Amino acid sequence: MQEIWLRIEAWLRTNAPEHVDILAAGASDVQISELEDLLSIQLPEDVKSSYRIHNGQTSYNYGLINGCEFLSLERIEDEWQIWKGLLDSGTFQDEDGQDQGCEPDLGICNVWWSSKWIPLTYDGCGNHDCLDLAPAEGGNIGQIISMWHDDPERKILAPSFRDWLQNYAKGLELRISN
């Protein structure tokens, strides 16, 4: 994780120096454990390692990850609680009490939203890249999926958090060479 973040930071310093300071300092193990307890989850080690380096971004003046806010642990909790409240209120059920379902890639559960989908990014409109901790058969625990608030399509973006962040770093570096 350290090497991936060094690559991202180097790109920012060279190409967007005004945005380097939006990266928050790392989270403590206590902060990570508190989020895990509150959400009743266990984060994969690659996620914990990343958040120990940078606890998301400090403000949303500039969306770090593909134009989206890279959520701090506190912002993860905020966004997750919004979705959990909607889930608990039955918002995602039809008139028969059945889950509306979605149009998922193979390996993603066919539900509109799961409490085991942990928001990592936020685009300001209710859409997220989520850490999937309860994949369907064929998926990977810890895969990263897209979750649109008003669109049933659910896509696997990466098989793991590490791959997702590494792909982001690689995408930044390709911008330099093009």
Please report which helix (H) or strand (E) contains residue 103, including its range.
strand 103-104
Write down the pLDDT at residue 101.
76
Distance of alpha carbon 134 from alpha carbon 41, whole angstroms = 10
* pLDDT > 80? residue 174: yes
Share of the chain above pLDDT 90, in %: 79
pLDDT digit string, tens, across residues 60-109: 778 899 889 999 999 999 999 999 999 999 888 777 667 777 899 999 99
Mean pLDDT score across all residues of the chain: 93
pLDDT band at 18 (very low <50, low <70, confident <90, very high): confident
Rounded average pLDDT over 10-21: 91
* pLDDT > 80? residue 160: yes
pLDDT band at 178 (very low <50, low <70, confident <90, very high): very low
Name the CA dihedral angle for 110, 113, 118, 123, rounded to a multiple of 10 degrees.
110
Nearest to 75 by CA among 59, 62, 86, 89: 59
Q: What is the 3-state secondary structure (H, E, C) of 110-171?
A: CCCCCCCEEECEECCCCCEEEEECCCCCCCCCCEEEEECCCCCEECEEECCHHHHHHHHHHH
More confident residue, 178 or 14: 14
pLDDT digit string, tens, across residues 102-147: 899 999 999 999 999 999 999 999 999 999 999 999 999 999 999 9
* pLDDT > 60? residue 169: yes
Write down the pLDDT at residue 99.
75
Rounded average pLDDT over 9-37: 95
